């Protein structure tokens, strides 16, 4: 097998060097902390505001550091590639985000992430920490990395909407309740056309023949529901959207956010082909798409593929989605 080409110096320093570059490029938005590594807002925590902290393995950029800023996260904790951050990284991030009103930890449902955030909250016992667990992936109930459903692209909606609630001055109970409301109403499913290569592994994370795709893939290359021959975009999109809409129990007259997310190696032109068909399928059900997001937001290194996320909206969630946000990856 040919060597994999990557713009890196040393697999062991990729995360640190990437964070250094990220901080140098966006000093108006973020501050980078080392030993241990975590990201905070450039201006620090806002006095009296509920803090929001998330994190997870690196390799999913812009998740989570790209969502640190006004209207979203106060801190993000990047682990090694596809590896949960450690409790001794997470604890100082929780403390940095605490401005007197407590901290909401938004954790994707991977066993390592859940356990390490729990341990960090015990270490940072001077901080009032509430935790919500995102589990939006309808593809599997249990996988290599989880008990129950995985947390994937729906995490962006949780961070954005809970962040807006915190920004408007909601207390910790209210921010947590809004986050749980999003989690209860968001579902996702993804597809991989190719595997990705973790730098220190030096070879693709799984073997996927050129004429096959994996439906229901996880963001770390975990196996999906099934492997099938390569099909057209409309057919693939239907395989993703239908289980999502069925799981949500969407009915005619409802309003939704439709989010088509790229896995890192798929061009925007193809993501819009997927969006076009997903929107049509929702409209055929009598569901109105009132908000949209298309792009690479929760990636899997250079994996070619996409995920479809649907969030059921009401007036409150729509207003919080529309609220101003200023991060490196999301701003309006």
Query: Residue 201 in 3-state DSSP?
Result: coil
The answer to whether 188 touches 137, Cβ cutoff 8 Å, is: yes
Per-residue CA distances from 83 to 2, 131, 199 (Å): 25, 20, 13
Q: How many CB atoms lie within 10 A of CB 5?
A: 7
* Strand ranges for 109-202 from DSSP E: 129-134, 186-192
In the sheet with 212-215, reading across from the earlier edge strand, the strands are 226-229, 212-215, 186-192, 305-313, 255-262, 288-295
Active site residue 220: yes
Catalytic residue among 60, 64, 200, 326: 60
Reply yes or no on whether 64 is catalytic: no
* CB under 8 A, 24+ apart: contacts of 232-239: 233/270, 233/273, 233/274, 233/277, 234/277, 236/191, 236/274, 237/274, 237/277, 237/278, 237/281, 237/308, 238/277, 238/281, 239/191, 239/215
What is d(CA 87, CA 100) in angstroms, rounded to the nearest whole number?
21
26, 64, 200, 220: the catalytic one is: 220
Token duo for residue 326: 């200023």
Give the H or E element holding residue 27.
none
Backbone angles phi, psi at 249, to 5 degrees: 70, 40
φ, ψ at 144 (rounded to 5°): -60, -30
CA-nearest of 218, 73, 236 to 153 is 218
Query: 236 phi and psi, to 5 degrees?
Result: -65, -45
**Catalytic center residues:** 60, 220
């Amino acid at each position: 097998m040919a060597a994999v080409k990557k713009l890196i110096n040393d697999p062991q320093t990729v995360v640190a060097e990437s964070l250094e570059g990220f901080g140098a490029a966006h000093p108006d938005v973020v501050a980078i902390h080392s030993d241990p590594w975590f990201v905070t807002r450039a201006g620090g925590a806002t006095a009296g505001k509920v803090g929001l902290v998330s994190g997870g393995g690196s390799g999913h950029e812009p998740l989570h550091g790209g969502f640190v800023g006004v209207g979203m996260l106060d801190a993000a904790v990047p682990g090694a590639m596809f590896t949960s951050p450690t409790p001794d990284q997470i604890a100082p991030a929780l403390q940095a985000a605490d401005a007197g009103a407590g901290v909401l930890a938004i954790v994707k449902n991977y066993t390592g992430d859940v356990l390490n955030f729990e341990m960090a909250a015990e270490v940072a016992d001077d901080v009032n920490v509430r935790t919500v667990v995102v589990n939006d992936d309808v593809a599997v109930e249990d996988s290599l990395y989880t008990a129950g459903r995985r947390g994937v692209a729906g995490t962006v909606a949780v961070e954005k909407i809970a962040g807006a609630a915190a920004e408007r001055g909601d207390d910790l109970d209210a921010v947590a309740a809004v986050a749980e409301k999003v989690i209860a109403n968001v579902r996702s499913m993804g597809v991989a056309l190719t595997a990705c290569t973790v730098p220190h592994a030096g070879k693709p994370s799984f073997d996927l023949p050129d004429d096959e795709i994996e439906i229901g893939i996880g963001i770390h290359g975990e196996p999906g529901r099934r492997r099938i021959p390569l099909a057209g975009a409309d057919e693939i999109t239907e395989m993703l959207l239908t289980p999502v809409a069925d799981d949500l129990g969407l009915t005619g007259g409802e309003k939704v956010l439709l989010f088509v997310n790229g896995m890192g190696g798929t061009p925007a032109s193809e993501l819009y082909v997927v969006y076009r068909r997903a929107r049509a399928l929702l409209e055929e059900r009598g569901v109105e798409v009132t908000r949209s997001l298309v792009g690479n937001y929760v990636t899997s290194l250079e994996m070619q593929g996409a995920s479809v996320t649907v969030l059921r909206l009401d007036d409150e969630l729509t207003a919080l989605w529309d609220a101003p946000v200023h991060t490196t990856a999301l701003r309006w």
